[in-house]
Amino acid sequence: MGEFELISRFFDRGPARRSELGVGDDCAILRAQAPGTTLAVATDMLVAGRHFLASADPASVGHKALAVNLSDLAAMGARPLAFTLALALPDADERWLEGFSAGMFALADQHDCELIGGDTTRGPLNVCITVLGELPVGAALRRDRAEPGDDLWVSGELGGAALAVRLGEAALPAERARLDRPQPRVALGLALRHLARAAIDVSDGLVGDLGHVCERSRVGAEVQWPAVPLAPGLAQSAAQDRPALALAGGDDYELLFSAAPENRSSIEALAGPLGLRLSRIGRIVPGQGVRVLDERGRPMAAGLHAYDHFA
Ligand code: ADP
Ligand code: MG
């Protein structure tokens, strides 16, 4: 199977639907956006041996490569439109490609996000996706918009993916799914456009990602540890292990956001329709840095940092 047969078999699904022109020409062509809207663009790369094992289920790799990108759109409140896929493969393994494309397209279809092009080359297994999304002008949930007095919220539950990494083969299916098949919170991001001020997706751990919001917004934050929603599996781990899993463990892809207290009830009302837990876990304060407070209001040990590839 040559390069072009590979592309047409696994990545070309026929005439473009949402875009003017998709896979097959020198460029894809998108329709110009409606007046009053902007384009949101994000790129995330998954490298075998670093973000996933080369032996990982290919459908999960396809799902996750797109999911982490859609999660970035969700964190800005953007609606997914289209994506490109740059793929390096050690060989044209049909079984792998079938699984990979099926996992990727299942999630793409769920979010009506169209593959419009990409690049395919031989090389160490590497998957790089760029997503494009749409946003009304001025509606983005930017990291630099948090204000002292804001409530701090997080969706879903934290620590499940980190627990799956720690347990490896012994992980339960629920935690395994959190790690392998994260669900990008796109609908939540859209619903928060007019309710939240700042948002970020929790990819590197809550404390570290909240630190990015604080730095960009020039504010501090206080997190109440007892209010942090824990993945069910954490009940089985030792109590002293739970803060590191839930606050510093990455890969959960939940949304962390700040919002004015007057929006509390509107935000709480989203949980039912979205089928998603929304927890108020603290607040934005003047100053700088993230403080986590235990059940008695005492600061908990520092050292819960975000994952840093070059640290
Ligand atoms: P060019 O040589 O003009 O860069 P390519 O030969 O790399 O074009 O690709 C041919 C067509 O296939 C292009 O439309 C490109 O966007 C598309 N394409 C290549 N690889 C992929 C991929 N992995 N997924 C989707 N589309 C792809
Ligand atoms: Mg090319």
Does 203 carry a binding-site annotation? yes
- Indicate if 21 and 132 belong to the same structural domain: yes
Among protein residues, the one with the nearest Cα to ligand 1's atom 18 is 118
Say how many Å lie between the CA of residue 125 and the centre of ligand 2. 17
**pLDDT value of position 120:** 97
User: What is the best residue among 23, 87, 114 to mutate for testing ligand 1's pocket, by most ligand atoms within 8 Å of CB?
Assistant: 23
- Indicate if 161 and 88 belong to the same structural domain: no
Segment 89-130, tens digit of pLDDT: 999 999 999 999 999 999 999 999 999 999 999 999 999 999
Tokens 């603290």 sit on residue: 282
Q: What is the gyration radius of the CA atoms in the chain, in angstroms?
A: 20
Beta bridge partners of 29: 21
Say how many Å lie between the CA of residue 113 and the centre of ligand 1. 18
135 neighbors 38 (Cβ within 8 angstroms): yes
| Residue 189 placed within a domain | yes
**pLDDT value of position 169:** 86
**pLDDT value of position 306:** 55
- Indicate if 160 and 286 belong to the same structural domain: yes
182 neighbors 244 (Cβ within 8 angstroms): no
pLDDT above 80 for 311: no
Say how many Å lie between the CA of residue 251 and the centre of ligand 1. 30
Cα dihedral sign, 183-188-193-195: negative
Cα dihedral sign, 98-102-104-105: positive
| Residue 92 placed within a domain | yes
Among protein residues, the one with the nearest Cα to ligand 1's atom 5 is 119
| Residue 311 placed within a domain | no
User: What secondary structure letter does DSSP report for 195?
Assistant: T
Average pLDDT for residues 190-206, to the nearest whole number?
97
| Residue 132 placed within a domain | yes
C-alpha pair distances (Å), 62 with each of 105, 151, 168, 228, 283: 8, 35, 20, 30, 36
| Percent residues over pLDDT 70 in the chain | 97
d(CA 177, CA 52): 14
Average pLDDT for residues 78-99, to the nearest whole number?
97
| Residue 293 placed within a domain | yes
- Indicate if 17 and 92 belong to the same structural domain: yes
- Indicate if 28 and 159 belong to the same structural domain: no
d(CA 6, CA 118): 12
Q: What is the number of domains present in the chain?
A: 2
C-alpha pair distances (Å), 45 with each of 51, 85, 171: 9, 10, 25
Average pLDDT for residues 131-142, to the nearest whole number?
97
Decide which of 74, 106, 136 is a domain's last residue: 136
Q: What is the CATH number of the domain that holds 162?
A: 3.90.650.10
- Indicate if 121 and 164 belong to the same structural domain: no
**pLDDT value of position 309:** 61
Domain membership of residue 20 as a residue range: 3-136
Task: Indicate the range of 40-54, 65-79, 222-236, 288-302 predicted with least confidence.
Answer: 288-302
In this structure, what is the dihedral angle of CA atoms 161, 165, 170, 171, given to the nearest 10 degrees? 0
Among protein residues, the one with the nearest Cα to ligand 1's atom 10 is 24
pLDDT above 90 for 301: no
Decide which of 90, 113, 136 is a domain's last residue: 136
- In this predicted model, which residue has the larger pLDDT, 87 or 56? 87
- Indicate if 23 and 156 belong to the same structural domain: no
